């Protein structure tokens, strides 16, 4: 499909779902105080990035992707930081009554009334929720992503070049090597450190960029419950978590420019959960010629892309050490409370398991993106002669690694 046809199709789809997506009322934007310290420097940095996006040549998104991937930290002052909102950032009001405090707690979340949710001017349907997790609960989701969700029958990049018995228990084969791992870059990597993606539920086909009815495994019930609560708080009651892509990043990783349009139902949001080290996220427009907005994502942050923003181009050009300057963000300091509510999906982690997780996170970031593939009662179109096995990711939808941003090809080396 040509790029022009794809842009037109994406724009048409975005326009079609605007009328069906719930619109949350934004709180009045807060004005930047004239005495805002560093404001001038941030504006100058942002202006420099904007000027770069307006230059001729390759598309604006690609130029800014390269800018943020290669520049030093001194040039990141123009990146939106939701921990110090201002400018185009405004408070979003959530649907507090849609999620009971008990259900939020069962998912490891604070009461919705305490969440800090924001929107961005020019991006209707985009919601940024600043770490709403209860103390200790992020540990559960990290352990699940490393120990449970990596197990069969779920699919991962290592399956492409390794025998099934070699990838059946990545955690068991990696935990001792990770626990003993030192600071030397010359040490052989464990299998978990070679992991780049895992698919859940309806397994995404990286070749055809489609889902299919005959390539499906049960979706994790705890992750489905978490996703349902977040979606309901954002105005999407009845959301069904049907597919997930887990991405595993290191400091030399990035995620290429892409649009998540393979789901058949675009009226439902895309949910994104981040754990571990920080990253820069770029949110663009319906075309790659539109310069994106850069923002920080820290551990525990959640992004919701719905309505107009559901089909926008986006990417992760860079993974950064957490802003606290410590090996792990302080949100991991506190262990899970021993007093969990009845029906909680959160489980305690043993000290031994958490030591492995903590060692992994010192140089890594985990991202979970959850989607509803089909609308209620909708079915997949019949296709013939289609190979539904999951293969290596395409250039625009998977990790790029090393300082030259070369394409990463999953291998067992």
Segment 244-292, tens digit of pLDDT: 999 999 999 999 999 999 999 999 999 999 999 999 999 999 999 999 9
Residue 407: HSE in the Cβ half-sphere, 13 Å Cα cutoff: 9
Task: Please report the DSSP string for 74-114 in residue order.
Answer: GG-TTSB-TTS--TTEEEB---GGGS-HHHHHHTTB--GGG
Which of the pair, 349 or 72, is modelled with greater confidence? 349
CATH 2.60.120.590 fits 3-407, yes or no: yes
Give the residue carrying structure tokens 């250039």.
Answer: 395
Q: CA–CA separation, 154 vs 166, rounded Å?
A: 14
Averaged over 224-252, what is the pLDDT?
98
Q: What pLDDT was estimated at residue 58?
A: 66
| Run of H or E residues at 333 | none
Give the global pTM. Answer: 0.84
Q: Is pLDDT at 42 greater than 80 in this prediction?
A: no
Which of the pair, 1 or 313, is modelled with greater confidence? 313
Q: Is 314 annotated as a binding residue?
A: yes
Q: What pLDDT was estimated at residue 295?
A: 97
Show the tokens assigned to 376. 């209620």
Structural domain boundaries of the chain?
3-407
Task: Please report the DSSP string for 228-245 in residue order.
Answer: HHHHHHTT-TT----EEE
Averaged over 114-125, what is the pLDDT?
97
Q: Is pLDDT at 113 greater than 90 in this prediction?
A: yes
At 194, give phi and psi (nearest 5°).
-90, -10
Averaged over 172-192, what is the pLDDT?
82
Q: Which range, of 50-54, 142-146, 211-215, averages the lowest pLDDT?
A: 50-54
Q: What pLDDT was estimated at residue 372?
A: 98
Predicted confidence band of residue 51 (pLDDT cuts 50, 70, 90): low
* Peptide bond preceding 139 in cis form (omega within 30 of 0): no
| Run of H or E residues at 411 | none
Mean pLDDT (the chain, rounded)? 84
Which of the pair, 293 or 84, is modelled with greater confidence? 293
Q: What pLDDT was estimated at residue 339?
A: 84
Q: Is 215 annotated as a binding residue?
A: no
Q: What pLDDT was estimated at residue 86?
A: 81
Q: Is 250 annotated as a binding residue?
A: no
Q: Is pLDDT at 13 greater than 70 in this prediction?
A: no
Q: Which range, of 217-221, 280-284, 338-342, 378-382, averages the lowest pLDDT?
A: 338-342
Q: What is the DSSP letter of 122?
A: T
Q: What pLDDT was estimated at residue 77?
A: 82
């Amino acid at each position: 499909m040509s790029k022009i046809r794809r842009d037109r199709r994406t724009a048409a789809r975005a326009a079609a779902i605007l009328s069906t997506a719930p619109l949350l009322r934004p709180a009045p934007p807060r004005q930047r105080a004239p005495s805002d310290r560093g404001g001038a420097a941030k504006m100058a940095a942002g202006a420099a990035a904007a000027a770069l996006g307006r230059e001729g040549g390759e598309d604006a998104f690609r130029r800014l992707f390269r800018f943020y991937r290669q520049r030093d930290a001194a040039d990141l002052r123009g990146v939106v930081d939701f921990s110090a909102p201002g400018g185009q950032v405004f408070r979003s009001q959530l649907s507090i009554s849609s999620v009971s405090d008990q259900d939020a707690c069962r998912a490891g979340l604070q009461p919705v009334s305490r969440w800090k949710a924001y929107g961005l001017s020019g991006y209707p349907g985009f919601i940024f929720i600043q770490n709403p997790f209860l103390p200790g609960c992020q540990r559960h989701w990290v352990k699940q992503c490393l120990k449970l969700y990596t197990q069969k029958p779920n699919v991962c990049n290592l399956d492409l070049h390794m025998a099934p018995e070699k990838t059946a228990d990545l955690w068991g084969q990696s935990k001792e090597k990770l626990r003993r791992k030192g600071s030397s870059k010359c040490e052989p990597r464990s299998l978990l450190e070679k992991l780049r993606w895992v698919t859940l539920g309806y397994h995404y086909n990286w070749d055809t960029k489609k889902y299919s009815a005959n390539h499906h495994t049960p979706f994790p019930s705890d992750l489905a419950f978490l996703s349902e609560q977040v979606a309901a708080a954002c105005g999407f009651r009845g959301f069904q978590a049907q597919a997930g892509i887990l991405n595993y990043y290191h400091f030399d990783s990035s995620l290429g420019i892409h649009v998540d349009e393979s789901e058949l139902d675009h009226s439902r949001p895309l949910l994104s959960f981040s754990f571990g080290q920080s990253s820069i996220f770029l949110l663009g427009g319906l075309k790659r010629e539109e310069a994106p907005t850069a923002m920080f994502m820290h551990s525990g942050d959640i992004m919701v892309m719905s309505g107009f923003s559901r089909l926008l181009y986006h990417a992760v050009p860079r993974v950064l050490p957490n802003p606290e300057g410590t090996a792990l963000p302080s949100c991991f300091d506190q262990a899970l409370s021993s007093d969990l509510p009845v029906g909680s999906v959160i489980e305690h982690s043993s000290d031994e398991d958490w030591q492995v997780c903590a060692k992994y996170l010192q140089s890594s970031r985990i991202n979970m993106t959850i989607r509803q593939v089909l609308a209620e009662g909708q079915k997949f179109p019949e296709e013939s002669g289609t190979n539904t096995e999951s293969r290596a990711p395409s250039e625009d939808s998977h990790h790029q690694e090393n300082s030259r941003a070369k394409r990463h090809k999953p291998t067992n080396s």
